Structure 1
C-alpha cells in the first residue's frame, strides 16, 4: 500500500502544557541547596536558534563529528531499522541529522519529529517535506520527557527511535535510564533506537566546546533567564549573571552554570529568590560515557546493544539498541 505524505493535511499539532510545568520545575529547582533548572527549558524559539549557531562553532565538535559518522556509516545504521518502520525522532530540532538517514530509508513508512518548540518544529517539517515529497511526516509538539501519544495514522507499523546529539547526556544517569525505559514503552518491544553518545576525552577539548570564544554558548545559557522574564514574570538582570562551564571529573560530566555576579534578590511570578555573590544556578549537565559504560546503562533500561559506530578519533559514538 502506498502511504501519501501527511504533513500538509495532518491533524493539528498537540498543544504544549501551559507555563505551570515551567514554574513548578523552577520552584522545585530553586528550593534546592544548589539551585537548578532542567536543560529542556533552553529550547524556546530563541534558544533553538542559538543552539543551531553553537553547532557550527569551531570548538563544538559533537555535531560535525556525529554528522561524519552518519555520512560514513549511514547505510549500516539505517539497516538496523525494521523495514517499513515509522521513525520517531525525540527532540528533533533541526532536520540536518535525520536527512543523513532518510536517504538510506526509501521504504520508511513515516517520520515523526517530536519537539517542544512548535514554531521551529513546523518550519523544519515543512522544509523536510519539500525535499522528501513522498515521505509521510507527522510532527508532534510535545515534551518527549513526558508521556505523549504517537499519531493514529501510524497504525500497527513497527516503530524505531532516533535520539542524536548526545542529548541523553543531559540527564542524570537515573533519569537517563527512566527516559530510555519510556522510549521503549513508546516504541514497543523489538524496536530499534539509534542514539548519539558523547565519549570521555581531554578536559580542555570538553570545556572549550561548552565555553566558546565567541560567547554563543554563554548567550544560550543566559537566554534561559530571558525566557523566565518573559514567560514567568521574572525580573532577572541578565548582566548580573555570568556563564560558566567546567568539567566535573568525578562525575564525568560538563556542568553549565549561571553565576550571580553580586548578592541580589530576584522576583519570579511574585516570589522572591535571593542569590549570594558567586552563587549559581546549575542549568545543564552533559555526561560523557565510555562505550562499555553506556551499554551498561542501556541494559539497565531494558535495551540490548546491536552495534556501535565511532569517528576515527573516538570523540563520539552512535549506538543501535534493541528494546527487550
Structure 2
C-alpha cells in the first residue's frame, strides 16, 4: 500500500478492457499492429531500464545531459509550483528537475501520472521519502485520456520526456499536444523530449542492440498477452526487427513470424493466423527536426521559449509556453 495519495482514474479492469480492444483491432487488421504501451508489465519495465543503459541506446543519456545542464534555467524561467510528469517519476531525470525547482524555491507539489498503479505507487513513494517537504500526489490514468483531471497549483510545468512523443502517429500526436495545451492555463509550461533525425545506422542500432535486450523487450508484448488474455503465443517463434522508415522518419519495431502459426487469444475471443514472415508492428518511434518540433507545438498553441540539445546534437529538449 502506498503512503502517497493516489487519484485512481483507471482500474485493473479498465486496463484489461483497453488491452482487449487494442488486440481485437490491431491483430484483425490487414497489416497487424499492437500499441507499444503494452510492453510494460513489471518485466517489460525492467527490460527497458536495461535498454537505457546500453551503449547503443543514446536517448536517455543524451536527454539527461541536457537536463543536468539546463535544469536551473528551466526552474528560473518557469517558476513552477507544480511539476507534472507523464510517466512514473523515479528516474534521475525527474530528480534533476525536482532539485532545481526546489533550489529555486517555488516547487510545492509533484504530480506523476502513470497507467500502472503499482509502478506509480513505488515511484511516488520513493520521491516522497527523498523529498519530505514536497507534496506528492499520484494520478493513475492514461495520458491520452485523463490529462484534464490533473491537480496542482499554478504555474505548472508538464514534463513529457524520453522521446515518448515519437510513439504517436502524426495525427494522434497533434491531438495529444492539443490536449496538453487544453489543460494548461495561459503561461504554463510543457517540457518535451524529442529524439532527432540522424544517420540510419545509429538509429537502427539503438533499437537492435548487440546483447538482444531490445529483442526481448519487443517480444514481451506477447508475454503480456499470454498473461493477461490467456493467449498461447510462443515468443521465440517471432523475430525482432528494427526498421528505419526514411520517408516517415521513424523507426518501426516489428515482430516477424518465423513460420506459419495460429494463436488463440481467449481473453479477446479470437484466433489469429500468422503467415511465415508476416510482421506485427509493435512500435513507431518518430525522429524530429527542430523546425518540425516548433511547428507542431505552435499548431497546438504552445510557443517554444527554449531549445537545447546535447553536445552531439542527438536529442532535443524544448520548453514551450501555453499561449492564447
Stretch moving more, 26-35 or 287-296? 26-35
What is the distance in 1 between the residues matched to 2:187 and 2:257?
48
Matched, 1:71 2:68: yes
Match of 2:195 in 1: 198
Matched, 1:168 2:143: no
Match of 1:3 in 2: none
Q: CA RMSD in A?
A: 1.6
Matched, 1:232 2:236: no
TM-score normalized by the length of structure 1: 0.93
Q: Is the 8 A contact 1:45 1:117 kept in 2?
A: no
Match of 2:100 among 95, 99, 104: 104
What is the distance in 2 between the residues matched to 1:307 and 1:148?
24
Matched, 1:86 2:82: yes
1:99-248 to structure 2, matched below 5 A, reads 99-106=95-102, 107-148=106-147, 150=149, 154=152, 156-248=153-245
What is the distance in 2 between the residues matched to 1:320 and 1:257?
32
Matched, 1:41 2:38: yes
Task: State the number of aligned residues.
Answer: 315
Gap change, CA 1:11 and 1:195, over 3 Å in 2: closer
Give every structure 1 segment of 4 or more consecutive aligned residues whose post-TM-superposition deviation is greater than 6 Å. Answer: none
What is the distance in 2 between the residues matched to 1:36 and 1:231?
18
What is the distance in 2 between the residues matched to 1:92 and 1:322?
23
The DSSP-based 3-state class of the residue aligned with 2:137 is coil
Gaps of 5+ in 1: 1-6
What is the distance in 2 between the residues matched to 1:59 and 1:214?
10
Q: Is the 8 A contact 2:6 2:140 kept in 1?
A: no
What is the distance in 1 between the residues matched to 2:250 and 2:4?
43
Match of 2:5 among 6, 10, 13: 10
Match of 1:261 in 2: 258
The DSSP-based 3-state class of the residue aligned with 1:143 is coil
What is the distance in 2 between the residues matched to 1:25 and 1:81?
38
Q: Which has the higher helix share?
A: 2
Cα deviations across residues 27-77 of structure 1 (Å, max 9, x unaligned)?
Answer: 111222210111111122221111111101111000011111111111112
What is the distance in 2 between the residues matched to 1:11 and 1:251?
39
